[in-house]
Amino acid sequence: MSDQALLEVRGLRKSFAVSAGVLARGERAASRRAMAVDGVTFSVAKGETLGIVGESGCGKTTLARMIVRLIEPDSGEIRFRGHDWLRAHGAELRALRGRIQMVFQDPVASLNARMRVGAMVEEPLAIHEPRLRRADRQARAAQMLQAVGLGADSLARYPHEFSGGQRQRIGIARALVLRPDLVVADEPVSALDVSVGSQILELLVLLRREFSLTLILISHSLPVVAQLSTHVAVMQSGRFVETGPIEQVLESPQHPYTEALIAAVPKLVV
Ligand SMILES: Nc1ncnc2c1ncn2[C@@H]1O[C@H](COP(=O)(O)OP(=O)(O)OP(=O)(O)O)[C@@H](O)[C@H]1O
Ligand SMILES: [Mg+2]
């Protein structure tokens, strides 16, 4: 494994029990499992943006949730900043958890409706930097809300008072307030209409520069991935079928599924 990689993933696998409803008659439920992620290996160097693209159900969210340790893989290895991330515990786990943050697809569901926006953005600081003074915590939250384009008046308001695009900005502020090394964004714009979605993508470009972010950007949309990524992984049925620098993959795709994705992008007729 290389020295410079921020994140190194080896042979990651996750299966789920198949519910009885989808089983053919006569099959025993206990013996049926479906592979959601089927042996995925890749690494991300500091400063890179890895786009992961693939159709619905191919395993993108399952992979993202394993990377941030929301769910445990069946097998495989993840090294983050040189640490054995899947075996980290105690103080090491707490320290590393703050260094990887996730931006969710559905900004509404991922936000606590009864919490004011200020408290919501302060919360990760309260958990991970408990010695920070309250005033400093508030200042950091206000600063971060400003960085994502929301005014100081948003601190005292509730999530339902914001539009979908603004709510995604809140989600991004919450993910960035700890100044993480790695941000995993799972379909950050698919719940938004196209023009609002492109504003969020532009914001991510700005923030990536400002905070020297390393990003994993997950989307079913090749144009979304192509807009931001330095590298791309094409995922199909739980596996990476093609990986490489974005220009290389777009210009000379090696796998038929990649070719199909590229062919499916509508050309703009003026
Ligand atoms: N908790 C779970 N229990 C059972 N099956 C699951 C669970 N989570 C995911 N799956 C299954 O694993 C497969 C991959 O799902 P996943 O959500 O990772 O796909 P995805 O690529 O994120 O799809 P989408 O683009 O629709 O978000 C699917 O077949 C899904 O039904
Ligand atoms: Mg998903």
pLDDT tens, 19-74? Answer: 766 656 655 555 688 999 999 999 999 999 999 999 999 999 999 999 999 999 99
pLDDT tens digits along 67-89: 999 999 999 999 999 999 999 99
Supply the residue whose CA is at minimum distance from atom 24 of ligand 1: 56
Cα–Cα distance, 154 to 145 (Å, whole number): 8
What per-residue confidence (pLDDT) applies to 25?
60
Cα–Cα distance, 52 to 187 (Å, whole number): 10
Q: Is the dihedral of CA 5, 257, 186, 143 positive or negative?
A: positive
Average pLDDT over residues 8-21: 90
At 252, the pLDDT band (50, 70, 90 cuts) reads: very high
Nearest residue to 171 via CA among 194, 144, 190, 138: 144
Nearest residue to 181 via CA among 6, 5, 52, 1: 6
Residue 4: Cβ within 10 Å count: 8
Prediction pTM value? 0.93
Residue 121: Cβ within 10 Å count: 30
Domain span(s) for CATH 3.40.50.300 in the chain: 1-22+31-99+182-270
Cα–Cα distance, 73 to 10 (Å, whole number): 11
| Ligand 1 closest atom vs CA 71 | 1
What per-residue confidence (pLDDT) applies to 137?
96
pLDDT tens digits along 137-186: 999 999 999 999 999 899 999 999 999 999 999 999 999 999 999 999 99
Top mutation candidate among 12, 62, 220, 224 for ligand 1, by most atoms within 8 Å of CB: 62
What per-residue confidence (pLDDT) applies to 193?
92
What per-residue confidence (pLDDT) applies to 33?
87
What per-residue confidence (pLDDT) applies to 26?
59
Q: Which ligand is nearest to the CA of 54?
A: 1
Report the range of poorest mean pLDDT among 108-117, 180-189, 207-216, 244-253.
108-117
60 CB within 6 A, ligand 1: yes
61 CB within 6 A, ligand 1: yes
What per-residue confidence (pLDDT) applies to 110?
76
What per-residue confidence (pLDDT) applies to 105?
87
pLDDT of residue 1 exceeding 50:
no
Q: Which two tokens stand for residue 79?
A: 């090294």
Question: 221: CA distance to ligand 1 center in Å?
Answer: 17
The mean pLDDT value of the chain amounts to 92
List all residues 6 or more positions away from 60 whose beta carbon is below 8 Å from its beta carbon: 52, 54, 186, 187, 218, 220, 235
Domain 1-22+31-99+182-270 superfamily per CATH: P-loop containing nucleotide triphosphate hydrolases (3.40.50.300)
Torsion angle in degrees (nearest 10) through CA of 78, 83, 86, 88: -170
Supply the residue whose CA is at minimum distance from atom 12 of ligand 1: 36
62 CB within 6 A, ligand 1: yes
At 18, the pLDDT band (50, 70, 90 cuts) reads: confident
58 CB within 6 A, ligand 1: yes
